[in-house]
Amino acid sequence: MDLGVESVDALEGKKVMLVPYMREHVPRYHEWMKKPELLLATGSDPLTLDQEYEMHLSWTKDPKKHTFIVLDKELIKGGFVCGEPHIEAMVGDVNIYMNDPDVFQVAEIEIMIAEPKSRGKGLGEESVLMMMASAVKKYGIQTFRAKISESNIASLKLFHKLGFKEASRSDVFKEVTLELLVADRAVNDSILS
C-alpha cells in the first residue's frame, strides 16, 4: 500500500493530507464536537470555544500527543499549500498519545472522520495507516492501542481490518481495548510498505 511521502510537517497519502492541528482549525473542530453522536463515539466532553482553544494549545505543547487534521484531497481548493490550514477540506482528525512516560514505544491512536459525507471512502483507514507509519519511523512505536466503545461497530471493524486484536474489555466503561504489535512481520509490511 502506498502511504505517501512526508513534506515538512504534512503527510500526503492517496486520498488524504494530514496536516498539524492549527489554531485556524479550532472553530470547525469545535462545531464538530458539539454533535452528541461524535461526543459519544469519541468519549469526549463538550467544551466551549475558549476551552477548545485552550485544549488546542495544551495539545500543541505536549510532546506525548500528536494531532493531525485530515484533509480530503478532493476538497482542497486551488492546490495544497504547505502551512495553510485548508479549512475547506478538513473532514476529521487522527492522533496518537504516548500516555505512559516509561513506555514510549506504546501509543494510543484515535481517528475521527467527522463529516458524514466523507465517511465510507477509505479516508479513515488511510489516515490511521499513515499516522502509524509516521509514528513507527519518528518515535519507534512498537505497539498501538485503540480504546473503542463496544457499540461503535464502524470503528471496531476498521481497527480489526488493520490487524488489531482484542487485548481487554471493560464491562464498566463498555469499552474494548484493541492492540496491534508492529513486530508482527505482516503488520510491519502493511504499515511501512
Ligand X SMILES: CC(C)(COP(=O)(O)OP(=O)(O)OC[C@H]1O[C@@H](n2cnc3c(N)ncnc32)[C@H](O)[C@@H]1OP(=O)(O)O)[C@@H](O)C(=O)NCCC(=O)NCCS
Contact residues for ligand X, defined by CB under 6 A:
38, 41-42, 92, 110-113, 119-125, 148, 152-155, 157-158, 161
Name the minimum Å distance from CB 68 to ligand X: 14
Separation CA 12–CA 31 (nearest Å): 25
Name the minimum Å distance from CB 99 to ligand X: 15
Name the minimum Å distance from CB 17 to ligand X: 15
> What 3-state DSSP class applies to 190?
helix
Pick 35 or 82: Cβ nearer ligand X: 35
Separation CA 140–CA 181 (nearest Å): 12
Name the minimum Å distance from CB 137 to ligand X: 22
Q: Cβ-closest residue to ligand X?
A: 124
Is 135:145 a contact under the CB 8 Å cutoff?
A: no
Q: Where are the alpha helices (DSSP H) in 16-163?
A: 26-32, 36-42, 49-61, 123-139, 153-161
Pick 43 or 140: Cβ nearer ligand X: 43
Separation CA 94–CA 119 (nearest Å): 14
Pick 98 or 130: Cβ nearer ligand X: 130
- One-letter amino acid of 164: F
Pick 117 or 140: Cβ nearer ligand X: 117
